[in-house]
Amino acid sequence: MKVLLVDDHPLVLSALEVVVQTMGADTTVVGVASAAAARAALAQDPDFDLVLLDLALGDADGFDLLVEFRRAYPALPVVVVSASDRASDVIRAIDSGAMGFVPKRSSHAELHDALALVMSGSMYVPPAMLGLEPERRVGGDTAPDVMRREPDAGRGGAAQADRHQPQKSLADLGLTPRQTEVLTLLLQGLPNKLIARQLNLSVETVKDHVAAVLRGLGVNSRTQAVLAVSQMMLGQGGYAARRPASD
């Protein structure tokens, strides 16, 4: 796995490089400190498997860069790693196409769990976004807790979900195989036009499937769908999106 880290704070960048490198012997990590360097790295080598992006960059707005990367490299998952865990920032990042959002106060285990979910085709949202723990705000100059070691912290969200959230799986939604395909692509941040192109369907048909998926999840928007599926993942140990064999 080849990972591009984008963070203009040298200490954070070094810490993330160490943490991500421990995910496996076959993991290659490239760290850059600016949006310009990130653009150059992807232009030179588009074969990255994952991007970890900070929102507070000196030469660009992180949200703008996220949208830019999603448009230029739609198959490349981007995970935001930010000093903020405000609900508004998490929702905006997911709306902009992020496959996950990890607060810098997270432990090694939480970061590993989040990246494993994303690389399996799932999405990660902090437990605080699911109402499983009080939301905390972290200032931009606060020392990042992503360097702390708490081996069991990554399981906290799932344990709380067991206590407070009804256990529901995607199988319980009654989605058709085609609707499941649409949900898989929707969770990857693809718009209806690209979903239609990939599945060889009309845009109107995709809209109908999306509406059915939202109804099945009991939500009204794509962002709410992401949160709902993330809640299922936390409660059941992860969901790897799979493409059904047929309609």
Of residues 237 and 33, more confidence is placed in 33
CA distance 211 to 220: 9
Q: What average pLDDT does the segment 98-119 reach?
A: 88
Q: What would you report as the CA-atom Rg of the chain, rounded to the nearest whole angstrom?
A: 18
66 HSE (CA, 13 A, CB side): 29
What is the pLDDT, as a whole number, of residue 137?
A: 40
Contact between 180 and 212 under an 8 Å Cβ cutoff? The reply is: no
Question: Residue 53's Cα: distance from chain center in Å?
Answer: 11
Query: What pTM did the predictor assign?
Result: 0.64
Percent of the chain with pLDDT over 90: 29
Query: Which single residue is written with the structure tokens 């860069």?
Result: 65
28: Cβ contacts below 8 Å, ≥ 6 apart: 1, 2, 3
* Token pair in block for residue 225: 């769908």
Q: What average pLDDT does the segment 235-245 reach?
A: 43
Residue 40 has pLDDT above 50, yes or no: yes
Domains in the chain, please, with CATH?
Answer: 2-164 (3.40.50.2300), 170-236 (1.10.10.10)
